[in-house]
A and B are shown apart, each in its own frame.
Chain A
Amino acid sequence: MQTLHPTLLVGPADWAAQRLPRAEYERRLAQVWIDHPRAGGMIVYGDPRDHAALAYLTHFTPKLEPAVALLAKADEPRLLVGGGANMIDAARPLTFVRDLVPLRDIGTAVTQWLESLPGDAEIVAVNSDAMPPQPYLSLDRALAARAVRSGDERLAARMRIKSACECALMRDACAMLARGATALQEAFSRGDAIDKCVLHGEHAAIQAGAQDVRSLFSVDGGRTLRPFDGTTTSPAGPTPVYLAVRHDGYWAETVCQLGSVPDVLTQRAQHIVAMLVSQARPGLPLAAWHACVEAERGPFAIHPVTARSIARPIGLSLDDQPMCGNGQVLAAGETWALQVGLRDAGHGAFATAIIAVTATGAECLWPLR
């Protein structure tokens, strides 16, 4: 779900080999070369907002300024780090890549790098069109003499299938999310104002070691969601609060329905999510989920917040595009965030789950069992 993007990414993001071994990254890169057999190198762009692919291949989270990975098929990876030479030492703990250099003019850096690659090798570009226009044009000029193909689609497909260590990190993220959700509920039970409840939830997740925490909440009984802006102090009534927690790159998210007794709207949303989870198995058309929501929502409208995203792949990004209904089918190893929101004339309610598709069904990562 989209939240207000922070101006600086703050929180633990160091690479830890015991959680994500170097072999995991070698496996991922090997898949890239299988997907692009003619490629000699790959260029991966990431910035603080949009860096899932960069993190997938280098573990690097660009906290302050953009970064570009230059991944050669037959050489060590190089990471261009924004912010100048004095930022390099601070960046080193965030990645296994040892060759870190300042990102200045990307065109110049790529031209030099290309000289080390075979002249007929294709170049795969990932997320390059997220760059602002000027560096994009500079890169475009540098690549003018090369065959270039986009690697976005194939890499996204690879990223949807989670390894065992990725699933372990997502379970850890869910545990942190549970800490935050519990603190939210406790604050609500004490009668705290809604913004205070949100702050308690965020703080509990931070203290549990979260890399990042995002939130949205409602001041109108769930009809709309809004980011924390420091201006709302209205008393908390029954209301949804969206909470997302990131751990070592991987996100977990939920909507906590604050209130003592689930109302009809909430119960209906929970019922639908339970059905979606029960249906999950390899080969299930995503359109089937969409049809289920339509069939089960009864007299209630789909909440605008989830209208385009009742099911999304989840992992290294919160902003993965909605995929429900586009003809694809579920595959074993994928992780999905399910979010069903319903709305009547005056209120809104949500239910959520995160699942890992198994060989025969689905493991529910969230809610915790």
Chain B
Amino acid sequence: MTFDERLIAIRDRLAESGFEVLIGVHDGAHFIEKPNPVMVLTGFRALGPAAVLLDGDGAVTLVVTPEWDAERASALGRSMRIVPAADVVEGVAVALGARAATIAAGVAGLSAFPHRLARRLRDALPKLREADALVFAATLRKTDEEIAHARAATRIAEAGFQRLLAIARPGMSEDELAAELRWHSRSLGADDNFALMCAGPHNRAVAPSNGRRMQPGDIIVCELTPSYRGQLAQICRTIVLGEASPMLREAYGLVLRAMDAGFAAARPGVAMADVCRAINAVLEAKGYGEYCHPPHIRRRGHGLGFASIEPGDVALDNETVLAPDMLFMIHPNQYLPETGYLLCGEPALLTPNGARALTVKQAALAEIAV
């Protein structure tokens, strides 16, 4: 699927919806778990709050803040009208003109929009109704371009992991390591990196880095998640500063087997929930059933944005049926009482024959000599 084919699919859904216009909004705070309808409909990743208007006839209008960033949007070369605006809501009003007061508009992204903007948007468009599915139902499958970018992001993530193995050492702070890895990924072409990592002898979870200085024997858990041209891919890894204990090796072998079970279960026609069940089953069989639920774990993977986070979480309540060209993380990422939290995970691309990891070298417990 191409970008244009997806746009046509959304336009067709719009025609059937009864809405006269579809509006996508985003506040410019690009978060791994926040879908971005502006990116889906235009490919543009904004500095500030932005909006896109898709008319029934297929015409696209992009409202850009700050005004001076409009030329970057124009350079995308897409067939759309650009409205530079100091204020995104005023920009939408300008784009709609006199139609604003009466037009039947569906909106995507409003639930993540700041209240101060959402309230004004509702005031400006009295007939506004939430319609996220109009945009995101068409994004279950990634476009060819998104898949290519995910492959590039995965290569950067794997190079980042090698960099981590080269530089992580006792005495270095978690913050120093995370900042260096984020910068390293930029030097390889990533435009961002959700570099979530922490270390300790017994991690309760993976959390944002802080100033704690790493010690011999620490277990580093990290999610390296570069974005390449706006498409994220992630690898989840576990590294020991020193020699891993036999217990840790055994535990990590278990979560790897759980991940393998997840990949084996992920096939076209299967519900996402079944992938989660397959992972849980491996851990439950070893007596870790109580650790397969919150607060220890709430999902076994997730979609990969920034544009769309479909097909959603690898979770028991996600009945989305898998299909080729879906892209999502499979990561058991399990807390075990004997070892603490362990990370292993790969970006999975659904093919007609099943899930394929985008990584060249998949997770294995790593050791750094100290």
Contacts and interface: CB of A to CB of B under 8 A. Distances in A.
Contact of A86 (B67, B192, B205, B229): B205
B208 A7 contact: no
A77 interface: no
B192 A6 contact: yes
A196 to B, nearest CB: 8
A130 B212 contact: no
A64 B212 contact: no
B30 A4 contact: yes
Interface in A45-93: 47-50, 63-64, 83-87, 89-91, 93
A206 B189 contact: no
A134 B111 contact: yes
A134 B112 CA distance: 9
Interface string B19-62: 00000000111111000000000000101100000000000000
Contacts of B113: 132-133
Interface stretch (A107-115, A220-228, A352-360): A220-228
Interface residues of B, number: 62
Nearest to B200: A89
Most chain A C-beta atoms within 10 Å of own C-beta, residue among B28, B68, B212: B68
B47 A4 contact: yes
Interface in B175-233: 175-176, 178-180, 182-183, 186-196, 198, 204-205, 207-212, 225, 227-229, 232
B66 interface: yes
Contact of B111 (A3, A63, A85, A132): A132
Contact of A64 (B208, B228, B295, B306): B208
B66 A7 contact: no
B191 A229 contact: yes
What's the dominant secondary structure at chain A's contact region? loop
Contact of A129 (B86, B116, B186, B207): B116
A9 B208 contact: yes
Contact of B208 (A8, A49, A226): A8
Nearest to B29: A49
A63 to B, nearest CB: 4
A258 B256 CA distance: 50
A14 interface: yes
Contact of B191 (A4, A11, A223): A4
B115 interface: yes
Most chain B C-beta atoms within 10 Å of own C-beta, residue among A7, A90, A93, A136: A7
Interface residues of A, number: 55
B32 A230 contact: no
B194 A8 contact: yes
B295 A85 contact: yes
A21 interface: no
Nearest to B305: A7
Interface in A313-351: none
A203 interface: yes
A289 B122 CA distance: 37
A128 B119 CA distance: 13
B179 A206 contact: yes
A100 interface: no
Most chain B C-beta atoms within 10 Å of own C-beta, residue among A84, A87, A130, A133: A133
Contacts of B68: 224-225, 303-305, 307
B114 interface: yes
B67 A129 contact: no
B31 A84 contact: no
A172 interface: no
Nearest to A203: B183
Contact of A8 (B32, B175, B180, B306): B32
B31 A7 contact: yes
Contact of A230 (B119, B191, B205, B212): B191
A133 B183 contact: no
B191 to A, nearest CB: 5
A274 interface: no
B72 interface: yes
B110 interface: yes
Nearest to B188: A230
A132 B115 contact: yes
Contacts of B180: 206
A260 interface: no
Contacts of B229: 229-231
Contacts of B194: 7-8
Contacts of B110: 133
A53 B175 CA distance: 23
A10 B178 contact: yes
Contacts of B192: 4, 6-7
Contacts of B190: 230
Contacts of B115: 128-133, 136
A48 B179 contact: no
Interface string A291-312: 0000000000001110110000
Given A3-B47, A84-B205, A48 B31 contact: yes
A2 B66 contact: yes
A85 B205 CA distance: 9
Nearest to A233: B189
Contacts of A49: 27-29
B39 to A, nearest CB: 13
Given A89-B204, A134-B111, A206-B180, A12 B173 contact: yes
A202 interface: yes
B173 to A, nearest CB: 7
Interface of B: 27-32, 45, 47-48, 65-69, 71-72, 86, 110-116, 118-119, 173, 175-176, 178-180, 182-183, 186-196, 198, 204-205, 207-212, 225, 227-229, 232, 294-295, 306
16 contacts: A2-B28, A8-B195, A10-B175, A10-B178, A10-B179, A10-B195, A49-B27, A93-B212, A130-B115, A132-B111, A133-B118, A133-B119, A206-B180, A230-B188, A305-B66, A305-B68
Given A229-B229, A307-B67, 19 more contacts: A2-B66, A2-B69, A5-B29, A7-B32, A7-B194, A8-B195, A10-B178, A47-B29, A64-B208, A83-B207, A87-B205, A89-B207, A93-B211, A129-B115, A130-B114, A133-B111, A227-B47, A229-B191, A231-B189
Task: For the complex of A and B, list the 8 residue pairs with the smallest distance between their C-beta atoms, beginning with the closest.
Answer: A86-B205, A90-B207, A14-B211, A230-B189, A129-B116, A304-B68, A136-B115, A63-B208
